[in-house]
Amino acid sequence: MKDLNRRFAYRVKRVRKKIEGTACRPRMAVYRGHKHVYVQIIDDSKGITLVSMSTLSPELRGKLDVTDTMLVAKLIGGLIAKKAVEKKIKKVVFDRRGYAYMGKVKALADAARENGLEF
């Protein structure tokens, strides 16, 4: 288990050193847990979170029966894109952390693109 965590941490570092969010193009960071999906849009130059959404957000709390499916990831991607467009954020840099670009991560990214974000 220790080796798996070390390899994942290495992948996170490898992806993260190539990506940086700025004021004009913030970073969209995805975290996928066993039960929940979290996404934030972050301005790294100021160190602030501009927009965030998860399956634990007040908009979704109590409305979802299951919180760890690809359909929920699509829903989260669409909602984060709508919130970002309301705050006049149209272009982001996608930070998938150490996760492979498939499954929930891909579904979230595709839904965000469909709802107005460019990356």
Q: Give the CA-trace dihedral at 56, 61, 64, 66, to 10 degrees.
A: 40
Contact indicator for 112, 80 with CB cutoff of 8 Å: yes
pLDDT of residue 64: 86
- Secondary structure element (H or E) that encloses residue 80, with its range: helix 70-86
Residue type, 39: V
pLDDT of residue 62: 83
- Residue labelled with tokens 């409305």: 63
Which CATH fold would you assign to the domain 2-114?
Answer: Nucleotidyltransferase; domain 5 (3.30.420)
CA neighbours closer than 13 Å in the CB half-sphere of residue 13: 6
CA neighbours closer than 13 Å in the CB half-sphere of residue 17: 5
Q: List the chain pLDDT tens, one digit each, 119 residues.
A: 778 899 999 999 888 888 888 889 999 999 998 899 999 999 999 999 999 999 999 988 888 888 889 999 999 999 999 999 999 999 999 999 989 999 999 999 999 999 999 99
pTM: 0.88
Residue 104 phi/psi, 5-degree rounding, is -65, -40
- Going from N- to C-terminal start, the domains of the chain cover 2-114
